[in-house]
Amino acid sequence: MPKYFAQEPNGRYAIVIHGGAGTMNPNMEESLKQTYLNSLTEALKIGQEILTSGGSSLDAVEKVVIYLEDDSLFNAGRGAVFTSEGNNELDASIMDGRDLSSGAVAGVTIIKNPISLARLVKEKTTHVLFAGKGADDLGKKLGVDIVDPSYFFVYERYEELERKMEKTKGTVGCVAIDQNGNISAATSTGGLSGKMPGRVGDTPIINAGTYANNKTCGVSATGIGELFVKNAACYQVSVLMEYEGYTLKQAAEEVIFKVLPDGSGGMISVDKNYNYEFTFNTPSMMRGVATSDGVFEVKMWK
């Protein structure tokens, strides 16, 4: 498969992150709000540093998502929500816009950082998606960090905090374009709180929850996964740009405000010209951006 439009280093980059879209209470305690903003800031700095030093967008999105997976504030990795049976089943995917190569895992239960296993699926196998026990076994074989399932039970000891944060925990994602013009996207989640065991949403589905193509854009989604799957939401942004001549802003808004129903979620995106967008039809979406033009900001509400 051809590599699309990789360039010589140009000194430019853009990186966007999200920590989930939803209905965060704007009147939440200031200390909790600052905790979220601080975490988003730290995650963004990790990606910014990689891109500033000439690193790849693929490395940047993976490292950022690892940080967010390790931070129990978010519904990914350590902070993953529980199924209806009280277990944790984690999903993640990553995509490289140079050649559309992709890797994903669904329903893993012992993988500390699902996004890293997703990248290894992309680079060490001829497949795209591994699920359940097969994915866990692959993680062992490929040497990723394995944890006891109890690692994800962090909030059982903090029931009050869990109740307070129940509506604020979201999927995490990152999209970046590096100095070579290469676009990458990554998304990770614990899924829907109280979901039926085995349920899989959009996060590990390439085209639905994650997409990257150097010809157009990179996108990471968050929200009601079933709706993003039915509409191939992330891919649809790229299609509108490539075949209908939409700008990134027009394409993302078409999908979020016209294709998807109100309250269904949001997406972050960057295009091949280093533009970026945050598009969501919910009251809040935790998000951040850093660019080579000096932009650096994190936000939670509209």
pLDDT beyond 50 at 192: yes
Q: What is the mean pLDDT of residues 223-252?
A: 98
**pLDDT band at residue 160 under the 50/70/90 scheme:** very low
Tokens of 250: 């027009």
- What does the buried/exposed string (b/e) look like for 62-89 if buried means 16 or more CB atoms within 10 Å of the residue's CB? bbbbbbbbebbbbbbbbbbbbbeeeebb
**CA-to-CA distance for 277 and 257, rounded, in angstroms?**
14
- The four Cα atoms 182, 43, 63, 229 give a dihedral, to 10 degrees, of -70
Q: What is the pTM of this model?
A: 0.95
Proportion of the chain above pLDDT 70, given as a percent? 93
The more confident residue out of 32 and 256 is 256
* Segment 146-156, tens digit of pLDDT: 999 999 876 54
**pLDDT at site 161:** 46
d(CA 18, CA 266): 9
CA distance 98 to 58: 10
Residue 185 is predicted with a pLDDT of: 99
- Catalytically active residues are 171
Predicted local confidence at residue 188, as pLDDT: 98
The predicted-structure confidence for 120-138, as pLDDT tens digits, reads as follows 999 999 999 999 999 999 9
The sheet carrying 90-96 orders its strands as: 129-131, 102-108, 90-96, 183-189, 172-177, 14-22, 284-291, 296-301
**CA dist., res. 113 & res. 129, Å (int):** 16
